[in-house]
Amino acid sequence: MTFERENVRRMAGYVPGEQPRRAVAKLNTNENPFPPCDAVLATLAGIDGEMLRRYPDPTAWGFRTAAARLHGLTPDHIVATNGGDELLRLALTTFLPPGAPLGLAEPSYSLYPVLAAVHDSPLCPVPLADDWSVPADIARQWNRAGARLAILVNPHAPSGRLTAAQELAEVARTFKGVLVIDEAYIDFVDPGIAHDTIALVREADNVLLLRTMSKGYSLAGLRLGYGIGSPGLVSPMLSKTKDSYNVDVVAQRVGETALRHNWEAAERWAFVREERSRMARELSVRGLICAPSQANFLLATMTSRPPGTARRLLRELADEGIFVRWFDQERLRDSLRISLGRAAENDALLAAFDRLLPQPS
């Protein structure tokens, strides 16, 4: 006898990347390789028992004000969430009617279909082009299927490819539902690329941006993210569908400090970008071709090697304490997704490839 709802009984859960207790190089879950900045650690040390005794501010006013200031918006454009993942769940709860499909691009973050299954919603997955670009008619395909909510991850996961803001604006204009742009990796985009999606929020009332403190701000363990959208999109989540106290007092305080000191995090982003170029070069020398990435990871594809090589490498690297990610998914089985770590971790990975990979034939 099972008491689960039918859709829950049928579905498989999300499989998170491994969190090994010890690793030579942990390059499997796109965490920031550096600790949070000193100001953040000082705020954390200042949390006292009296703060914990009381309920947190249900609206996360201080954090939302800091986020609004950073983006040149007012706080009614911001909703704080228990990690970016909670914002995704809230978007389904708030904007996707029962029976309407969730629009997706394929492949992308494997949590999206899991959330749709929990919500008992069908999917409208549109395959990305060979270079992982978004097909020009994606919004029309979603509209035809009756999708009322769609999610695009940009920079794309797991390839790291960046879709230009103008292209996203066109998708948003054409799509008849709410477009979530999952910007989990936006902090790592080269500042030389003028990529302004905040302007999109000002122009389009159906665009909801996802931001997270997990990657850019080295706070994956804190569980804090936020949504940016027009007040009309944000308000029902703030006042109706989120848990009353969805973000705890520690996350609110620490997160506010992190945003107010964001230039310190930005120094780490610059380092990650340099390692990204270096690793893409070094990997290509070893016959692993990387899609152009604007994120803190590379999708490295095995060329001229027998099928199954990527999967074998995943295991052999793990035996050496080096953790990367492999996806048992169409179009991804010949690739490894490699998070950018500290220079020594990245070097350890390259040295392991030199030992484990025969020269390309």
272 binding ligand PLP? (CB under 6 A)? no
184 binding ligand PLP? (CB under 6 A)? yes
Name residues contacting ligand PLP, limited to 98-127 (CB under 6 A).
109
Binding-site string for ligand PLP from residue 301 to residue 340, where x marks contact by CB under 6 A and - marks none: ----------------------------------------
Nearer to ligand PLP, 161 or 215 (CB): 215
Nearer to ligand PLP, 246 or 309 (CB): 246
In the list 83, 160, 229, 255, the residue contacting ligand PLP (rule: CB under 6 A) is: 83
Check: CB of residue 82 under 8 Å from CB of residue 269.
Answer: no
Please, what is the minimum distance in Å from the beta carbon of residue 31 to ligand PLP?
Answer: 9
Piece in contact with ligand PLP (CB under 6 A), picked from 166-174, 214-222, 270-278, 300-308: 214-222
Please choose, from the candidates 335, 283, 288, 341, the residue with its C-alpha nearest in 3D space to the C-alpha of residue 314: 335
Strand-strand pairing, 288-290 and 322-323? unpaired
Nearer to ligand PLP, 95 or 297 (CB): 297
84 binding ligand PLP? (CB under 6 A)? yes
27 binding ligand PLP? (CB under 6 A)? no
Nearer to ligand PLP, 182 or 345 (CB): 182
Q: In whole angstroms, what is the distance from residue 189 CA to residue 193 CA?
A: 7
163 binding ligand PLP? (CB under 6 A)? no
220 binding ligand PLP? (CB under 6 A)? yes
The string of DSSP letters for 50-117 reads HHHHSPPPTT-HHHHHHHHHHHTS-GGGEEEESHHHHHHHHHHHHH--TTPPEEEEES--THHHHHHH
Please, what is the minimum distance in Å from the beta carbon of residue 214 to ligand PLP?
Answer: 3
In the list 153, 204, 259, 310, the residue contacting ligand PLP (rule: CB under 6 A) is: 153
In the list 121, 143, 212, 335, the residue contacting ligand PLP (rule: CB under 6 A) is: 212
225 binding ligand PLP? (CB under 6 A)? yes
Q: Name 149's bridge partners.
A: 102, 178
Residue that the structure tokens 């395959």 belong to: 127
182 binding ligand PLP? (CB under 6 A)? yes
40 binding ligand PLP? (CB under 6 A)? no
80 binding ligand PLP? (CB under 6 A)? no
What is the rounded radius of gyration, in angstroms, for the C-alpha atoms of the chain?
21
Q: In whole angstroms, what is the distance from residue 60 CA to residue 140 CA?
A: 37
Query: What are the respective helix, strand and coil percentages of the chain, to the nearest 5?
Result: 40, 15, 45
Cβ density class 175-211: b for 16+ within 10 Å, e for less: bebbbbbbbbbbbbbeeeeebebeebbeebebbbbbb
Nearer to ligand PLP, 116 or 352 (CB): 116
Check: CB of residue 208 under 8 Å from CB of residue 181.
Answer: yes
Please, what is the minimum distance in Å from the beta carbon of residue 215 to ligand PLP?
Answer: 6
Nearer to ligand PLP, 89 or 305 (CB): 89
Burial of 109 (0-12, 13-18, 19+ CB in 10 A): buried
Q: Name 170's bridge partners.
A: none
Q: Name 208's bridge partners.
A: 180, 229
Please, what is the minimum distance in Å from the beta carbon of residue 158 to ligand PLP?
Answer: 9
In the list 26, 62, 78, 85, the residue contacting ligand PLP (rule: CB under 6 A) is: 85
Interacting residues toward ligand PLP by CB under 6 A: 30, 83-85, 109, 153, 157, 182, 184, 212, 214-215, 220, 225
